[in-house]
Amino acid sequence: MKPRLATPLLSTLLATAFLAPAAAQAQDPGDVVAGESFAREVCAECHAVEKGDTLVALNGAPPFQQVADDPSASEIGLRVFLRTPHKNMPDLILTEEQTDDVITYILSLRQRPPQQSER
């Protein structure tokens, strides 16, 4: 008969593999403050990155406020977009952490859909 030594290790591995990512996804993936300074440093070259700033850049880069207010904007969508080459900036390569932070920042700008009386 085989000793069942493997069992505790296996359940630890399974718990790590399945529970940890689930737990991580339960909260905000990134750091808003870090994302904001990263956006100011790197993305502001083309995008309006400040909350409430709706100026579209000359090169067509949409303001982050507008990106956030797009009803179809989602963490997943932004993640996919940032992983694929940016048309006008092929060298834009972000680390996982930068991606998380900047996406969290962008989505933090989201406001309620504007009321008609507001504009």
Torsion sign (Cα): 36, 40, 44, 50: positive
# residues near ligand HEC by CB under 6 A = 21
Neighbours of 79 (CB within 10 A): 14
Asked if residues 44 and 106 have their Cβ atoms less than 8 Å apart, the reply is: no
Q: Assess 74 for contact with ligand HEC (CB under 6 A).
A: no
Which residue has tokens 């972000």? Answer: 94
Q: Assess 71 for contact with ligand HEC (CB under 6 A).
A: no
Binding mask of the shown chain, residues 94 to 113, with x at each position contacting ligand HEC by CB under 6 A: x-------x-----------
User: For residue 61, what is the DSSP state?
Assistant: P
Task: Kindly tell me which residue out of 81, 83, 96, 111 binds ligand HEC, with binding defined by CB under 6 A.
Answer: 81
Residues contributing to the site for ligand HEC (CB under 6 A): 39, 42-43, 45-47, 59-62, 67, 78, 81-82, 86-89, 92, 94, 102
